[in-house]
Amino acid sequence: MTSKETIKEIREKLTNESYSAADWQAYQEDNRKGVQALVLKEQKKHAERQKNLEHFQGMLMWEHRLWEQGYTYIAGIDEAGRGPLAGPVVAAAVIIDDSFYLEGLDDSKKLSESVRERFFDTIKEKAVDYGIGIVNAKTIDQINIYQASKLAMKKAVLELKHQPQFLLIDAVKLPELPIQQESIVKGDQKSVSIAAASVLAKVTRDRMMKEIDRQYPSYQFGSNMGYGTKMHLEALEQFGPTPYHRKSFSPVKEATQS
């Protein structure tokens, strides 16, 4: 059986998802090789979407459990930038509701830069609320990176317009905040709101490092984001640290002393 539509027309309908159930049945029965190739491609796309949906629903376990207990404002919290030799540490807090769905959302480190950038805008648009906390290199040197990461997280929570009733935090606890909370190891892979926070934190920090790169192009901050790459270390040895370097971090400390 062959559909009356041309392969080009069928491709356009599948691309625009403007086909009916009867159309889909006809395409499946169409014996043209080109149509069958389009059908196979569409089936794979549907399977991928279903896989993404199931993964997303699995990552909503923590939020669903808390929503069922009566909590409305649940903030997922994560940070970016603990390991680099330069730049701030940035944290984000994100509150979502049960209408939030972002296909493909995952730990920001698993996403490409283009996907993170796209998700960044979508998360800000669809989230109930979000906050960003930033702690600079000078403060990191004064209080250490662990405490600075926690400080950035607290700042992010305080930026929220809605007072959160519960905090889901990636790997740490914030006992200084009088809010019920849960520390989740690898939380950015297990909680939608933490994953969303990881994207906001990562993109915010990356954009800041690209701005710093314009001031100090020799260090290639726009590509290494402050991490100790070979080119970064060579520039550090040749030119010394910038005001954005963490002077308590080795080998920045060594470059400062030399």
Q: What is the mean pLDDT of residues 131-157?
A: 98
d(CA 232, CA 244): 13
Q: How confident is the model at residue 91 (pLDDT cuts 50, 70, 90)?
A: very high
Q: Are 119 and 199 in contact (CB under 8 A)?
A: yes
pLDDT for the residue 2: 65
Q: What is the mean pLDDT of residues 123-136?
A: 98
d(CA 227, CA 232): 8
Residues annotated within a binding site: 78-79, 170
Question: Is the pLDDT at 126 greater than 70, yes or no?
Answer: yes
Residues annotated within a binding site for a divalent metal cation: 78-79, 170
Question: Is the pLDDT at 1 greater than 70, yes or no?
Answer: no
Q: Report the chain's mean pLDDT, rounded to a whole number.
A: 95
pLDDT for the residue 144: 98
Where does residue 238 rank: exposed (0-12), middle (13-18), buried (19+ CB within 10 A)? exposed
Instruction: Quote the Cα angle for 143-147-151, to 5°.
Output: 105
Q: Tell me how long the chain is.
A: 258
Would residue 87 be called left, alpha or beta, if left means φ above 0 and alpha means ψ between -120 and 50 degrees? left
Rounded to a whole number of angstroms, the distance between the first and last alpha carbons of the chain is 79
Q: Are 198 and 92 in contact (CB under 8 A)?
A: yes
Domain boundaries, the chain: 7-59, 61-210, 217-257
Q: What's the fold here for domain 61-210? A: Nucleotidyltransferase; domain 5 (3.30.420)
